[in-house]
Amino acid sequence: MSTPPLGLRDFIAALPREGRWLLSTVAIQLLGRGMTLPFTIIYLNEVRGFDLGLAGTLMGLIAIVGFVVTGPAGSLIDRFGARPVILGGLVCAIIGDVVLAFAATPVLAAVALCLLGVQAGVSWPAANALVASVVEGELRQRYYGVNFALINLGIGVGGVIGGLFVDVARPETFTLAFLINAATFTIPVLVLLGPLRHTHGRAARPSADEPHATASYATILRRPEVGWLVVVGVLLATLGYGQLESGFPAYSRQISEVSTRVVGFAFVVNCAVIVLAQFWVMNRVSGKRRTRVLIATALIWAFAWSIFGATGLAPGSVAAIVGVVAFQGIFFAVGETLMQSAFPALTNEMAPDHLRGRYNAINSASFQTGAIVGPILAGFLLEHGQSTMFIALMVLGCVGIAAGSIQLERRIPPAVNGVRPPEPQEPASL
């Protein structure tokens, strides 16, 4: 039986009180992040006077530190609960943004960006684990999709505001932007210390003789289904988020020869499509096998990368502009909404309650890996004139996502994969 379509009002009404409080802070928190995310490297280079190579290296600290802290964060979540881990990450983000606002030296900037990396590393596994502890069943999958839409709404609106507000000729505008970002992080802190102070996100540990009562990362990773989950996660991140701020703009400028304004507009359209399409997508993937949704993501992305690659055949043309915007703003965005509706829900259905922190940390680490590998791969190939090879590897990677999803489907029960059991039939009357 298919789930009836839900609009935003119906979805909010169906959420438990804790779920509504958690969701209420997402767009506001990301509004400040959107004001600074696209402009941090410009701030370091043009306002603070660090050379571009140093600025790029400093920016890389966020992903590196995020990767390093993800594993310990998962263990802390399982032991102490998701809420205190989120609070610790938010405090790091607040301090990091305040320090970055006044970072006149590379050392201060490095400290600030490392603190932001801590928050980036702990926030994903902790937030997903906390959501999973208060929202159950089919509603949980819908929650992850709506959460993703709100993230993009906050970043998109924040990016527009930041683009209109910050000005390298007025360094104080960057300082104010980072302070505003710090202030937006205080809102979820207040919610977690107030209305959600009793929601710890920690599951009761089973008795020692039960299966998977205790498990190290090594034990979890030896499970075949987890191994395939990691493979799919790394590929999704390498081909997806690992390219959005590296391969996509570099190919667009060097090979497709479109303006920076076109690249920026494509990002805006991407956020808009995600926000507008999320409920439409959610209502159509409800009750479907999550692995099949990931296969659909792979097929859409393969088509999108092919369209994007073709823009290099007519550089600087109207066709190239349309192809760049269509890739980022339409095809890629639809694939993202499918992925974010399926992948976090799949991870949390697979995880035993008391190991949810570790499973989400593994999920997060796989994406952090892709976010590191993706830019390196794109930079190496495009710098050496291998643009055709770059596109070919992206398409081949999409095939890998589909193949990995098929292998994963064979190793998990239908209930974990999002298939609802059939409703019992009433006996026919004689």
pLDDT score recorded for residue 207: 54
What's the pTM?
Answer: 0.81
Fold of 17-136+166-193: Growth Hormone; Chain: A; (1.20.1250)
Whether the domain at 17-136+166-193 and the domain at 220-419 fall into the same CATH topology: yes
pLDDT score recorded for residue 112: 96
pLDDT at 210 over 60: no
The answer to whether 287 touches 138, Cβ cutoff 8 Å, is yes
pLDDT score recorded for residue 430: 45
Q: What is the DSSP string of 40-75?
A: HHHIIIIIS---HHHHHHHHHHHHHHHHHHHHHHHH
Counting residues of the chain whose pLDDT is more than 90, the rounded percentage is 37
End-to-end CA distance of the chain: 26
Q: What is the DSSP string of 348-383?
A: HHHS-GGGHHHHHHHHHHHHHHHHHHHHHHHHHHHH
Q: Residues 59-106: pLDDT tens digits?
A: 888 888 998 999 999 999 988 888 999 999 999 999 999 999 999 999
Mean pLDDT of 330-358: 87
pLDDT at 425 over 80: no
Mean pLDDT of 383-401: 93
Q: Residues 395-423: pLDDT tens digits?
A: 999 999 999 999 999 999 998 888 876 65
Residue ranges covered by each domain of the chain: 17-136+166-193, 220-419
Q: Residues 250-303: pLDDT tens digits?
A: 888 889 998 877 887 888 888 888 888 887 887 788 778 999 999 999 999 999
pLDDT score recorded for residue 73: 92
Mean pLDDT of 13-35: 85
Q: Is 310 exposed, middle or buried (CB count within 10 Å of its CB: 0-12, 13-18, 19+)?
A: middle
Q: Report CA-CA distances (Å) from 73 to 69, 70, 216, 271, 416.
A: 6, 5, 13, 29, 24
pLDDT at 381 over 80: yes
pLDDT score recorded for residue 215: 73
The residues near 190 (Cβ < 8 Å, ≥ 6 apart) are: none
Q: Residues 156-165: pLDDT tens digits?
A: 888 788 878 8
Mean pLDDT of 129-133: 86
Task: Report the CATH number of the 220-419 domain.
Answer: 1.20.1250.20
pLDDT score recorded for residue 422: 62
Tokens of 330: 């339409």
pLDDT at 1 over 50: no
pLDDT category at 233 given cuts 50, 70, 90 is very high
pLDDT category at 426 given cuts 50, 70, 90 is low
CB neighbours of residue 380 within 10 Å: 11
Rg of the chain (C-alpha set) = 22
Tell me the C-alpha distance between 252 and 259, whole Å: 8
Sign of the alpha-carbon dihedral angle for 7, 9, 13, 19? positive
Between residues 428 and 15, which one has the greater pLDDT?
Answer: 15
pLDDT at 146 over 50: yes
pLDDT at 219 over 60: yes
The pLDDT mean for the chain works out to 86
